[in-house]
Amino acid sequence: MERVPSQRGKFAIITGANSGIGYETALGLAKKDAMVVLACRDMRKAEGAKSRILETYPKANIKPMKADMASLAGVKQFAKHFQSHFDKLDLLINNAGIMMSPYKLTEDGFENQFATNYMGHFALAGLLLPLLTGTPGSRVVTLSSLSYKWAEIDFDDLHAKKRYSKRKAYGQSKRACLMFAYELQRRLSAAGYGTLSLAAHPGLSKTNLDRYFPALIRPLGALFLQNPEKGALPVLYAALANDLNGGEFIGPDGFQEMRGDPTVVNSDAYSKDRKVAQRLWRATEEMTHTYYLGEETHTWKP
Ligand SMILES: NC(=O)c1ccc[n+]([C@@H]2O[C@H](COP(=O)([O-])OP(=O)(O)OC[C@H]3O[C@@H](n4cnc5c(N)ncnc54)[C@H](OP(=O)(O)O)[C@@H]3O)[C@@H](O)[C@H]2O)c1
């Protein structure tokens, strides 16, 4: 981060920026003088995060805005609100997430982890696409996880209405995030846009993501997980490094990618399967009623 030049004049959105990786990413960008929108579902927590950032870096330029990523109406409302204040967007960081929550369908009828972690961000990127593609050098960074390996995409039961495994549902949502990041890059570049799309994962970091874990297990994390400041570095690297072309997955370089410094990491063959990615894209367009970078509107070919 010391080598990163000033980001003054750049506008960034970070979803779920009030705690953990999102908060540390916001702090990192704010310290480089970017204007950072904390897109959070709870405005009280967002204001608290703003105060903490200002305590650390009084010159920070921070704007909290309400964004519930589990609700299509909430995502639309946020996108509209943002567009009424700003006419460009340099960085969209798709970070908000929940892990292994009890079964719940959102108000839109979607499984909660899939909706929050993946579908809301798919819709948000689509709604903000005109701003992103109109901003030279813009990037979209989407948070995946090592846990993407826990599941494939279950097209027959995307919302786990037949059978719910909280572990599989988290894995599916994070695999969808990874495949979305890769597919978005392919579609952006096929359409001739300079906006880059990247995926990132923070290894294993001690954050509030363990809120649904048993109370006895939670304190153990502090013993072996890396701190969220370190966990945010792959996200910041994906957002800021100038040796990336888009389509990369950034994670920690240590043992099994669980901790360490940011580097480009690989992912399994399924995550790179274009047919699955295209099917997922079309299905998500239909479910979110958000259509973008499709066959009809661009030169993109399957
Ligand atoms: N920590 C890790 O080891 C790890 C590993 C792999 C991937 N990740 C990914 O990193 C990202 C950040 O997680 P974290 O570890 O920093 O956990 P965290 O501390 O729990 O942060 C998650 C953030 O997402 C927000 N959020 C949850 N549901 C939301 C919704 N419906 N609308 C808007 N915001 C919502 C939370 O807000 P509230 O405070 O209001 O709940 C919080 O700000 C997630 O995508 C996660 O999958 C983390």
- Per-residue pLDDT reduced to its tens digit, 143-153: 999 999 999 99
- Establish if 229 belongs to a structural domain: yes
Query: Is it the case that residue 297 has pLDDT exceeding 60?
Result: no
Among the residue ranges 30-44, 215-229, 278-292, the one predicted with the least confidence is 215-229
Average pLDDT over residues 11-21: 98
- Establish if 238 belongs to a structural domain: yes
- Establish if 185 belongs to a structural domain: yes
Query: Is it the case that residue 295 has pLDDT exceeding 70?
Result: no
- Per-residue pLDDT reduced to its tens digit, 40-70: 999 999 999 999 999 999 999 999 999 999 9
- Establish if 299 belongs to a structural domain: no
- Establish if 293 belongs to a structural domain: no
- Mean of the per-residue pLDDT values of the chain: 96
**Confidence category of residue 302, pLDDT binned at 50, 70, 90:** very low
- Establish if 86 belongs to a structural domain: yes
Average pLDDT over residues 212-220: 86
Query: Is it the case that residue 284 has pLDDT exceeding 50?
Result: yes
Measured in Å, residue 116 CA sits from the centre of ligand 1 at 9
The residue range of the domain holding 21 is 11-288
Average pLDDT over residues 175-187: 98
Mutate to test the pocket of ligand 1, among 13, 14, 15, 19 (most ligand atoms within 8 A of CB): 19
- Establish if 2 belongs to a structural domain: no
Provide the domain count of the chain: 1
pTM: 0.97
Measured in Å, residue 22 CA sits from the centre of ligand 1 at 7
CATH number at residue 160: 3.40.50.720
Q: Measure the N-to-C terminal CA separation of the chain; round to a whole number of Å.
A: 39
Cβ–ligand 1 distance for 42 under 6 Å, the answer yes
**Confidence category of residue 221, pLDDT binned at 50, 70, 90:** confident
Query: Is it the case that residue 97 has pLDDT exceeding 70?
Result: yes
Catalytic residue among 23, 118, 148, 170: 170
- Establish if 93 belongs to a structural domain: yes
Measured in Å, residue 24 CA sits from the centre of ligand 1 at 12
Active site residue 103: no
Cβ–ligand 1 distance for 18 under 6 Å, the answer yes
